[in-house]
Every structure is written in C-alpha cells, then in structure tokens.
Amino acid sequence: MTIAPRIAREVELEARNTLRIPGRAEYFLEAKSVAELIEAVRWAEAKGLAVTVLGGGSNVVVPHDGVRGLVIAPKERGIHFVEGSGREVFLDARAGEPWEALVEAAVSRGLAGIECLTGIPGLAGAAPIQNIGAYGKELDEQLVYVEAFERATGEVVRIEREACEFGYRESRFKRRPGEFIIVGMRLRLERDGAPTVRYRELVDAVPPGASLSEVRSTVYALRKAKSMILDPEDPNHRNAGSFFTNPVLSREEYARFLERAIGGGLIASEEELPHYPSGDGVKIAAAFLIERAGFRRGARMGAFGLSSKHSLCLVHHGGGDSRGLLALARTIQAGVEAAFGVKLVAEPRLLGPDLAAAVR
C-alpha cells in the first residue's frame, strides 16, 4: 500500500510541541517504521516539498504561519541490549523511543552512563541533534554511533561518534539540518559502573557512594525544583527547556567581558560570576547574565514570560504564538548584549525548512 493516503493535510501542531504554541504542518505523517519514513520522504521529493522532522517537540518553536511541506514524526520504537566485552553493554534504541525510556531501561538494569540525563523530554532520535546534556554529562560521552537516513544518497548509514562533530549543544545534524534523519543509535553503558557525580550541585546533593537510581532520582528532584521536568500541574510547564545556551568565550573575550562587567558595576568581582572552563575558553551562566541585565524570574511580556523558577526558561502562559515568544527572546538578547556585550544564542530551532528565519 502506498503511503499517500496516510499523509494528513493541514495538521495543527499545538499539542505536539511543549511550548503549546499553534502552527500547522502543510502535510504530516507519523512514520511507524524506517520503511514508511523513506517512502514518505520519496513522496515529498516527488512533489518538490520540503521535509522537516519533528520529535517530541520539546526543543522547537513552531512558526505561527505554519510549516510548509511535509513534517515527519519518526515513531519507530524499540530498545535492545547487546553484550560487549568485560562490563561493557550496548543499548540500541530506535528513534521514536522516548528518551526517558532509555534512562529507565539502563538504570533499572544497573547500567551506568546516562543516569544524569534523566528528565529530559523528547525522543531518542533528537538526543544527538544538540548532544543533550545535564548535570555534568553529555550524550556524546556514551554514544557509539547514530544510524540515519541520508537524504543525498537515499541510504541508511551508520555515523560513528567522531563523525558526528559533537560539541556543547552542537552536532553536524544541528549545524546542517536536513542532511540526515536519525533512525536509531547505539550507546555504551557499564554494568555495575559508578554513577557520574561531578556536577557541583549534584555532588552537594547526593551522599558518597550513592547508587545509580539514587543519583537519577536526585537529578530528577533538582530538575523538578527548577520546573525542568514536564509536569502539567506546574504553572511554568509550557516551555522548551533552556531557551538560550550558556555563552562560551575565548580567554581574551572573557578578560574583556570581565573588565566591562566589573568596570560597569554589573558585578563586583569574578567570584560572583558562575563560570566554568570549557575547552580552551570559559563558559558563563546565561541565567546570571539575564538576571543581572534586569530581567526578573516570573516577569511577563504579553502571553510569554520568564519561568518563575529559572530565568533561562521562557514560558507560554496561553493565547500566544511564535511572534510573541520571539519578541521576548529578542528583547532579552538585546538587554544582555547592551549590558555585557555578549550575544545570547537561542537553543531551540524554528521548525521548518526556512533556515533564514531560524531563531538567532
């Protein structure tokens, strides 16, 4: 049977993004298998339509005027474990599996590696896109390879970790969207391995020798206190997580930044500023810059505002669309740039093929 009859027209995406903002897909399909996904891509190509991939919608901004072309949601599920050598165990997952199901499957089997990545919404297939990270762990530490449908060749290929060009909230998939559709991945875990407890807040919160599941539940509780868990009871729940990435400055840029911030009376000394080494540079906390630039937690601008728990997180209070959200994001960017000379970069992507309009 051909896929065409299953492709729906003018599908509202409001319930399919965690900000709950409205916008329609011109064509939409949930692909239950890789074969269906490939057939749908070929259908779109034959019609000259753009193809956009939607996972759990937790890191996208749906444009108010909709997404042209075909939006495909990869929904193939499945988790399998494969024995490696020694204490190594591989977790193979299909792209449509909820990310949290991977964490649950690993921790419940005593397999270490992804316990700190609990509570991150979305599907496994999107996890490599921005190299998800939290509480001292990034996905690329555990990822062995990604399996992806390559648009240019029409083949399903294996992309080893080194070729994924991972960075802080970065990958080749995010830099050059549209080249690949991720359909699966392999993670490396460790049987009876120690949990990763290296992030200051986590070190302070767990007792020495804590088990994998204790570390996971502590991370979950810390996230919940910041409204970083999707909980419909939470007034901040309509969000896309952190809206801006933490700026990473070169050593020279950082020295200039400090001089300006201290000289301008925005901070008293370097000790006040949350900052961490990052590669050859310094990562500074975007939330701190936002608050010092004068944006308060809980502040509102129309239908949107800053979360009352976390100034990096922008919240939809209802009745708004992408225009209001982007206006707030640009106001914050401009305020931080005027105060500190640093341009904040938005983490979520504008959904759709129109890259020129991407959130910058």
Binding site for ligand FAD (CB under 6 A): 18, 52-60, 74, 95, 120-123, 125-127, 129-130, 132-134, 173, 177, 181-182, 228, 230, 239-241, 349
Tokens in use for 149?
């449908």
Q: Which of 16, 169, 186, 349 is catalytic?
A: 169
Residue 32 host element (H or E)? none
Rounded Cα–Cα distance for residues 161 and 128 (Å): 10
Residue closer to ligand FAD by CB (options 117, 273) is: 117
Instruction: Say if CB 321 and CB 64 are below 8 A apart.
Output: yes
- The CB-of-321 to ligand FAD minimum distance in angstroms stands at 17
**By C-beta, is 241 or 320 nearer to ligand FAD?**
241
Output 174 or 292, the one with its CB closest to ligand FAD: 174
Q: Are strands 313-316 and 304-306 parallel, antiparallel or unpaired?
A: antiparallel
Closer residue to ligand FAD in complex, CB, 148/332: 148
> Rounded to whole angstroms, how far apart are CA atoms 47 and 352?
17
20 is catalytic: no
Q: Is residue 324 a contact partner of residue 304, using CB atoms and an 8 Å limit?
A: yes
Name the minimum Å distance from CB 266 to ligand FAD. Answer: 27
CA–CA dist 183, 282 (Å, integer) = 34
CA 78 to chain centre: 21
Q: Residue 351 corresponds to which tokens in the numbers above?
A: 């959904």
Greatest alpha-carbon pair distance for the chain in Å reads 69
Query: Which residue is catalytic, options 227, 242, 307, 322?
Result: 242
Catalytic residue among 24, 147, 347, 349: 347
Q: Residues 297, 227: contact at Cβ < 8 Å?
A: no
User: Smallest gap, in angstroms, from Cβ of residue 84 to ligand FAD?
Assistant: 25
CA-to-CA distance for 128 and 146, rounded, in angstroms? 8
At its nearest, how many Å lie between ligand FAD and the CB of residue 238?
Answer: 9
Residue 261 dihedral angles phi and psi, to the nearest 5°: -70, -40
- Which of 40/123 has CB closer to ligand FAD? 123
Q: State which residue, 59 or 333, has the beta carbon closest to ligand FAD.
A: 59
**Rounded least distance, CB 185 to ligand FAD, Å:** 10
Closest approach of ligand FAD to the CB of residue 52, in Å: 6
Cβ atoms of 249 and 342 within 8 Å: the answer is yes
The CA distances from residue 168 to 91, 128, 141, 236, 323, in Å, are 23, 11, 12, 25, 27
Has 169 been annotated as catalytic? Answer: yes
Assess whether 9 carries a catalytic annotation: no
Active site residues: 169, 242, 347
